[in-house]
Structure 1
Amino acid sequence: MKGLADKLRLIYKPFLLITIGFMVTYTFLHWVLFIKAGIPLKENILKFWFPFTLPFIPVYIWLRPRLKLLQFKDDKGSFGYQFLACMAMAVPTIIAQEYLATATGKLTELENIAQISQHDRTKYYSLKKYYIDKQHFAVQNKLSVTGRHNENLNMFIYVIMPLLESQDNPFFSSNKYWLGQKYQRQISNRLSNQEKDDRYKAFAEQAQKEFYKTNFENFTYLEVIGNTDDREEFNKAKRRLGQKSTAENIIFKANTEPFEARNGNKLPWVFGSLGIGLLAYLVFLLFPKLKGEEEHHQFTSGDSSGISKL
């Protein structure tokens, strides 16, 4: 039992403090710097890549020296515990950023789309009067390969339509407001070129049918598409209509569910994933043994650059 108590005190407690501290600090900086201050940064970097990669820094500085107290057959064992700690930090932090973006987004109620310039820019909007011009749409196609061994072929079709005040308002080349719709499908990248072409044609035909039968005016609120790869593809489609991308241009995504449901189950998943990560790390700490008492004493006596103060 003394060995377990030492593991909890010397390794698990610092891991717990680092995990919670990282998640809270990163989420706070996200809110202050990128939501309130509006510093421009790609959303996939802010919501995924930073939370995924940055945990390696505190783990390397503060947790890695403490993992040297455990007995491993080789260095791979220590690296595995570092990686597990990083994942335990990254997953709930990534989910927390998605929750932060939806939970802090404000809804602005407008009579028509022309009133948007009279208000501060927000993430969500509701409109009483509007018209989606499906006659002047443009399409952008995209293919990408994903997977550890490039085994997945992802097919995307981006459709953009002018969002007007009413059906009586004509479409101009300087239109500022747009509605975007994305269709996507994933197939095996190991198919022959002919099979890929056939699958893409079937996908395009299905997307076309779905587009024409969809009533895009049947939405409860609009969501501004932020600084994402999707927005870049929608802008490419918009340029096919002779449209230039400016700061005044806004591309929306239509949502049909109630505004109150925008957060979904993100918050429970934040705490759920955090709890799973903390529990998993505790279980894994039960397996390796601690090294000798002399090393424990030297480590906790202050020879470890202050991390024993955690």
Structure 2
Amino acid sequence: MNGWNARDIPDLHGRTAVVTGANSGIGKATSLYLARAGARVLLACRDASRGEEAMSAIRGAAPRADLALLPLDLADLASVRTAAAHITELADGRLDLLVNNAGVMALPLRYTTDGFEMQFGTNHLGHFALTAQLLPVLGAQAPARVVTVSSLAHRYAAMDFANLNAETGYRTWTAYGQSKLANLLFTDELGRRADEAGRELTACGAHPGLSSTELGQAGLRMSGHARLARLERLTRFYTQPASAGALSVVRAATDPTAGNGAYYGPRRGLEAWGSPAPARRSHNARSVEDAGALWDASVRLTGVTPDFGPEAPRP
């Protein structure tokens, strides 16, 4: 039994999808799978030139791909707001799929344009604000899905609400794990609130296991630890390609049996590699209390209040 694979992706003609961080790695591979299945894919990228290169590569592999490129810097809430308005215009009132994939990993202490710790600000707050501002076109006219990409690192994290912005200290991998835990808590709270509002919006999560991507290799190199730098060299030989890791994301995005809170990752090697299957979430990732607290903190920090009403204003 080979498990779920690219042949299981349903026909996506007539669907519009947004993939953040689509210029490389998991995002680029995800965009290619969706485009091959017939979806119109909007590639949301921080670097325009790399986005153009990715779009060209995707078209080379899928000549009939329907693609568009738009700028998005998740570390700048003004850029998020502009991107949401642009997506809303391009979607023409209906967005079927949002893949919150872009992220940073294991950075030295840095801050976003708005003064947030970079990993939490980019990986969670930027995606929270983007999703919130796209609610007018997500599930308003037809069923829609939001997939947020987490990581195995979430299992070793706990939410420290007194230190979301490195107020009381900063540890590189602790901050990264917290941002990935936030991705799963956000996913669950989004699904719950959409259900309560009667919105046809499904929120799912995924992780790519140990995949060979620029993000993972750069994170290990920039960690500042000699042992992790050596690990970066070793992982090149033991990780699966981005095209394999992206299948977990694509399953979360397209499997018709996936409901709110579904979470997928590779099924082999302690979820490190292999075909996508239901993945294990940590005890902390199942905390309803923390999910609600994170939602409230995200509204306060970003100044963006998600509105699930049918007449939600456009961003």
* TM-score computed with the length of structure 2 as normaliser: 0.27
Task: Give the structure with the larger helix fraction.
Answer: 1
* TM-score computed with the length of structure 1 as normaliser: 0.27
Q: Whose RCO is larger (CA < 8 A, sep 6+)? A: 1
Task: Name which one, 1 or 2, has greater alpha-carbon Rg.
Answer: 1
